[in-house]
Structure 1
Amino acid sequence: MRLLSRIRRAVVARWGPGTQAEAKTREELRALGDLSDGAVLACLTPEASRRNAAALLAYYRARRPPSPLFRPGDRKELARLVGECFPESYKETMRRADMACRHVVEVLGSGPTDLGDPINWWTDFKGGTWVSGDYQELNAKLYANDYQNDLYIGDVKLPWELNKHAHFVELGKAYWLTGEECYAEALLGQMEDWIDRNPFLWGLAWTQNLIVAQRAIAWTLALQAVWGSPALTSARLLKILRSLYQHARYIPVHFEFAERAINHLFGNAAGLAALALAFPEFREAPGWRTTALRIIESELAKQVYPDGVHYEQSVNYHRYVVEFCLLPWLLSGADRSPYCDPSRQTLRRMLEFLLHMTQPTGVVQPISDADGARVWKFNHHVVNDHRALLNLGAVLFNERSLKFGMTANSEDVLWWLGPDGYRTWEALPAEQPVRSAAFPEGGYFVLREDWERDALWAFFDCGHVGLGDWPDEVSVGTHGHSDLLTFGLAAGGETFLTDIGSYTYTGSRPWHDYFRSARGHNLLLVDGQDQSVLTTTWAMRERARPREVAWRFSPDADYVTGAHDGYRRLHPPVLHRRSLLLLRRERRVIIRDDLEGDGEHAVEALFHAMPAVRVLQVDRPGCWKLIGRRASVSMTVLAESLRQGQPLPLTARVAIGETNPIDGWYADDYGAKEPAPVLHVSFRGPCPLRLYTVLQLDAPGRADAPGAWSTYTGAEVAWGAVLTRLGLMS
């Protein structure tokens, strides 16, 4: 009831009548729906407003913003470099732009989807067309009853994503690369059609401030490419400026402030900053810029832990926040950072976190919620490849370690910083970072053999579930998952054990819950229970909390340990403790799980493999092979009741692509799931219980059995020997 009360108060606060001052502000906002051309010109600075429409267009064509993005003098060289250095991306840009000219887009796993002629801006591709109406009335229903009401016909994220207009940037890029007017006409024609058919404050496109802000960003970037096109007439310019002004006035009225705000507020501020920096001719632009930058700097201090991890506990949204924060910097010019030194250092640490979370394969695992959110798309690598952002950061911060091993994805540097900036990046020496890294406030630990592509790599998660350490009575989860003590493994140039991502949010509650539950992670389930109790779409209660976290990195072995109290609610209660060892010389990872408490309990250990990995049982009990495309890993699982002092029998099964109940799935990106094997290993016994999982990267000529680790007694002795060597046992 307390949660429902909070939701109702939030809905009323955001979309209800509010105070008299708020009502007056919204009435002033509504009055902007009928701005005349003269009123639009009056919103500009005297230098710009005294021109007629034709002279204003000439002014915009002649001016030179500080950012190298779409700088006319670089156009020919940039097109040549994109074609020579990134030929596949060049082709993909043209493919997507050609589709966009035909009103065909790909959004959140939809595949190529025809939007019709005229474009249906309100389709969700899977459910139908959303109803229209006043934006406040739509939102009052949209956010009520945990998204379960008659307004919903499918997944609202699909039309929201479409109305961010990311494909406008593809059209702008195609025009810049080829000079063919069909792309500029498609871009400006669709922009004009959207303005005509989505009146200010009417319909789904105006229901969320983040969507409004991202649309403003997309328009801002795309327009830089078409200032010189004959398709941009003076009449179109005034219509576009009117809409951009409406966007800029909308955003501050709907800033998504909260007791603990999330990535949305960064997006709100970045959208306002983009409009202020790209269109300084608006009289109010200096105030917009000041407000936006003040919010970004304030939220960096609030939302990012000292170790550089964003507190929503999602790598996807962490990257999203970094992009929002870098956008004003990039639009100001690479050598003109608008931030104070503490903010710059926070952003540098955020990039370092992404660097270490990048596997030797070049991608990160889709940890916690992930909807493929991007602020800009100047390359066509997979959504979990963050190397383009790291390469940008290498230049902005002159940080050599951010470039190390990341050179396969550098196209964003060329677009954002121009040919000169790209040459600066090429000349920057790469410097090897430390191998393993701890992010204790965020709760992430990365254990790495070395920086070679075939290296052994593991991550361990022992951080709070979303938005930090809230009191027990507050039900909160946001983008965090029920995943305390989960881990992932890459070896031999590919990923073997993985976080499974996030397939949907509001489109299907059962699917959403599977992907965010403990069952969807590499964890232990005790007595069939989740470690946290999932309640609504974004909330949990009785959340598991991290405890007793410690780590030690050494030249030959890395160690991390932590516990959670999520099973204290069981009768009798249980504490789950998990420790990981990475042994470099042996190329081996060992996980030890301890269940401390009393009474007999049923335990299920889950191991989620990538879709391309085969999970095969071998002749010995408790042994499996994980067979990938390039390498294989031998896996041994050993369980014992410490109370009884004897091994426990194991039962096992592999699930792939099951729907009743949902089991054995992976989502690399939002809206795109595929079957993937998950190994279930079950046993039962009286606590305290101990489980060893030994993961050995296979090598030609080496026996499958991992030596001393092949028996429980041998594992106990070997574990103790390693910890003694690390100085953790006497």
Structure 2
Amino acid sequence: MAETKMPARGIGERVRQAAGTGWLLANRARGRPVSFLARKVIDLTALYLRGVGAAVGLNPYESPAGRTIALKPGLVTDSAALEKALDRVKKSRPEDIQHVLHTADKARSGTVAILSHIADESASEAWDTDFVGGAKWPVRFHASYMYSDLLDLGRHSDIKIPWELARMQVLPSLALAYRLTDDVTYVDAATKRFRSWDRACPVGFGVTWTVGMEVALRAISILLTSEILASSGAYFSFVTPRLTESMAEHGRFLFRNIEYSDINGNHHISCLLGLLYLGLAMPSHPESGDWRATAVRGLMTEIVAESYPDGVCHEGSIPYHRLVSEIFLHAALLARRNRIDFGLEFHSRLQRMLDFTAAYIKPNGEAPVWGDADDGRIHSVGSQDVNDHRYLLSLAAALYERPDFAAHGGALQLDAAFLMDADLQKAQDRQRPTAIVRRSEAFAQGGFFILGAADGFALVDCGDVGLRGRGGHGHHDTLAVELSLGGLDVLTDTGCASYTRDRRERWASLGVQAHNVGSLDAREPAPFSDERLTQAGAYQCDVRAWDPIGRRFHGVHRGFGGKAVFSREVALDSSGRECTFADSFTAAGEHSACWMFHFAEKWATPRIELDRAVLGQEAAIVELSWDRSDAHVTALRTSVYPRYGLRRMRWALRIEATFVDSLAIRFQIKLQKRGSDR
């Protein structure tokens, strides 16, 4: 891919961008608390002054010359426990061991997986470049980048590519490969990657320093790598004086550039977790006490602020619920080993977050890709699919002595095991997993309703679009359904296209017709917000009835300008092989209604008959029927994104009907396993 550099900005362009940024800030300031705005003004002034100093050669984040800070090992585990954990995984999931060795072998030769792409040797150390689209960002002081520079919607670019590269999340895999083989060349490769980045990206300069979250995740990756190498002969090959100096710079930078808003999300708590890791790892640093205190105080506050009382993360996305849960779980592990008291409320809320995780795991062990999904993780070393969240439950089962979590967690995964010290391993051994019984559960405050029976699963969304209705990582998916019958995925959500590479593709994956729900007059239920990153708009929804025993849900929403009411009743049969939707629209005048049914990738070409469509795969046949003879039905191929930016195709049915004032229609979906009577 040819490299495209960001165009040089003349005075006129700078003025226009500054004016645009000023308008954006003024628009976003409306309705925000005065105290929040005052704090922002103070912080932006301090940031401006740091930029002035940097312009004359005074880097505010560099560590004082001659100061050597040692890293404290044992933050989450120790060398002996790690050896035992690896032995456990060799028995429970040998594929994880093979995966980490394969990943490390590739990284040693210069090839790294970044999101759904593969970076070769030249691309994997291009720290300022989107190697997929060829876009390149100039190196300058972090405060001088405007947000429009980073989103860069005028080019075929995605800033997440260089950000993900610089998170250094391949380093723990290289360290684990060394612990498995005693081959020091894995450590040499990790050291080489860090030094390459360090030379190209001095503290505070370049796009890898523009966002506090990225700084935090990079620091955590490096500290986890040092944890894995602790007490080994290769420790000081990686943990050099320059690396520890860089960790001090990461701490100084983060403490002065914590991302925050009046309603916070995953960026804020990522910064706090990074400060907690750094503050614990560098106890002799003069600022480390402030880092720890800020992190502990903030994490205790934010677990309540960023989740509903029922445990659902308020970002409007199941993949982001995983990321936020992982952040707080890391914090809980650090607190346990380092005698930090987060209090009962923290641990109670975290367990409720993981109760939701256990509930949304489908019969095939994966999570619905519901809402935005950028594959964000704190760590990733195992072979499981990106949408397999069960390692969180394995960790939590040991941490909280929860046999129900152990049952949902399944075989011990490397992503959980390498964070378990000896006491957690003993706690894991004490758990006697209970049988998994699928049942219906309401997470009404977070807006998710789960119908369960046998091997049947239906998830219904009846909540806001994220960040308490302001708009976060939710989509136009209110009253949409993800459905599994007989243990097989039947209807699946669309997932997430790249945030910035193609705005039309982003709109399409957010839009109502990307989801298994009805729409009206080819319109969106609410306007998109395009101030920065395109986000779904808000519209009102209500629950009319919930019957967990009878496995029934009824909800309505008032999208489409508030002039229409869409109603949906969902019922899951006790066999787990049949589900019905009773839908209706009420809107004055003449209208056209459309329903989309997006089938999982394995289903073959639909065969459309008079009042039904039949699809097959190797294991089963599924039938979708409807009760209106005037419905027009079309089979088509639609996009699905099983992970961020990875576009594949699947079959869908579009069912359309016109009406005056009101319309009611009933859909029934039945699954029959091949070779069975049902």
How far the C-alpha of 1:16 sits from its partner, in A, is: 9.3
Name the structure 2 match of 1:465. Answer: 465
Match of 1:148 among 150, 153, 156: 153
Name the structure 2 match of 1:126. Answer: 132
Name the structure 2 match of 1:667. Answer: 641
Task: Measure, in 1, the Cα distance between the counterparts of 2:537 and 2:82.
Answer: 57
Distance 1:3 1:362, change over 3 A: farther
Distance 1:601 1:141, change over 3 A: closer
Match of 1:5 among 23, 31, 45: 23
Matches for 1:177-196 after TM superposition, within 5 Å: 177-196=180-199
Query: Could you report, residue by residue, the CA deviation over 1:76-99 in whole angstroms, capped at 9, with x for unpaired residues?
Result: 434433333321111111111011
Distance 1:103 1:229, change over 3 A: farther
Give TM-score scaled by structure 2 length. Answer: 0.89
Contact 2:466 2:472 in 1 (8 A): yes
Distance 1:141 1:577, change over 3 A: closer
Give the percent of matched residue pairs that are identical in Structure 1 and Structure 2: 25
Query: Could you report, residue by residue, the CA deviation over 1:399-422 in whole angstroms, capped at 9, with x for unpaired residues?
Result: 222122431353333211146533
Match of 2:328 among 313, 325, 329: 325
Name the structure 1 match of 2:632. Answer: 651
Query: Could you report, residue by residue, the CA deviation over 1:96-119 in whole angstroms, capped at 9, with x for unpaired residues?
Result: 101111111011111x32132993
Match of 2:557 among 561, 564, 572: 564
Task: Measure, in 2, the Cα distance between the counterparts of 1:622 and 1:148.
Answer: 45
Task: Measure, in 1, the Cα distance between the counterparts of 2:618 and 2:313.
Answer: 34
Name the structure 2 match of 1:722. Answer: none
Name the structure 1 match of 2:305. Answer: 302
**Bigger relative contact order (CA 8 A; separation at least 6):** 2
How far the C-alpha of 1:123 sits from its partner, in A, is: 2.6
How far the C-alpha of 1:156 sits from its partner, in A, is: 0.8
Name the structure 2 match of 1:632. Answer: 621
The 10-residue stretch of structure 1 (409-418 or 313-322) with the greater mean CA deviation from structure 2: 409-418
Matches for 1:158-237 after TM superposition, within 5 Å: 158-228=161-231, 233=236, 237=240
Match of 1:417 among 402, 415, 420: 420
- Name the amino acid aligned to 1:390: L
Give TM-score scaled by structure 1 length. Answer: 0.83
How far the C-alpha of 1:699 sits from its partner, in A, is: 4.8
The 10-residue stretch of structure 1 (342-351 or 578-587) with the greater mean CA deviation from structure 2: 578-587
> Secondary structure of 1:676's partner?
strand
Residue 495 (structure 1) aligned with residue 495 (structure 2): no
Task: Measure, in 1, the Cα distance between the counterparts of 2:548 and 2:284.
Answer: 54
Distance 1:35 1:553, change over 3 A: closer
Distance 1:595 1:546, change over 3 A: same
Distance 1:559 1:595, change over 3 A: same
Question: Unpaired runs of 5+ in structure 1?
Answer: 45-55, 470-475, 640-647, 657-663, 705-730
Matches for 1:274-423 after TM superposition, within 5 Å: 274-333=277-336, 336=339, 338-418=341-421, 421-423=424-426
Query: Could you report, residue by residue, the CA deviation over 1:603-642 in whole angstroms, capped at 9, with x for unpaired residues?
Result: 11100111111242254x1211232342222211123xxx
Distance 1:262 1:289, change over 3 A: same
Distance 1:166 1:14, change over 3 A: farther
> Secondary structure of 1:688's partner?
strand
Distance 1:425 1:441, change over 3 A: same
Residue 534 (structure 1) aligned with residue 528 (structure 2): yes
> Secondary structure of 2:145's partner?
helix
Query: Could you report, residue by residue, the CA deviation over 1:540-595 in whole angstroms, capped at 9, with x for unpaired residues?
Result: 586321124430111xx2111111111245xxx32101111112047321101111
The 10-residue stretch of structure 1 (12-21 or 400-409) with the greater mean CA deviation from structure 2: 12-21
Residue 584 (structure 1) aligned with residue 574 (structure 2): yes
Distance 1:403 1:34, change over 3 A: closer
Name the structure 1 match of 2:89. Answer: 82
Distance 1:539 1:189, change over 3 A: closer
Residue 242 (structure 1) aligned with residue 245 (structure 2): yes
Name the structure 2 match of 1:73. Answer: 80
Task: Measure, in 2, the Cα distance between the counterparts of 1:143 and 1:347.
Answer: 36
- Name the amino acid aligned to 1:675: M
Distance 1:366 1:700, change over 3 A: closer
How far the C-alpha of 1:259 sits from its partner, in A, is: 1.6
> Secondary structure of 2:655's partner?
strand
Contact 1:15 1:140 in 2 (8 A): no
Matches for 1:85-96 after TM superposition, within 5 Å: 85-96=92-103
Task: Measure, in 2, the Cα distance between the counterparts of 1:502 and 1:601.
Answer: 30
Distance 1:180 1:577, change over 3 A: same
> Secondary structure of 2:146's partner?
helix
Name the structure 2 match of 1:727. Answer: none
- Name the amino acid aligned to 2:326: E
Name the structure 2 match of 1:616. Answer: 606
Name the structure 2 match of 1:711. Answer: none
Contact 2:460 2:479 in 1 (8 A): yes
Name the structure 1 match of 2:106. Answer: 99
Contact 2:603 2:617 in 1 (8 A): yes
Larger Rg: 1 or 2?
A: 1
Match of 1:31 among 54, 59, 68: 59
Residue 600 (structure 1) aligned with residue 604 (structure 2): no
> Secondary structure of 2:409's partner?
coil
| RMSD over equivalenced CA pairs, Å | 2.9
> Secondary structure of 1:502's partner?
coil
> Secondary structure of 2:420's partner?
helix
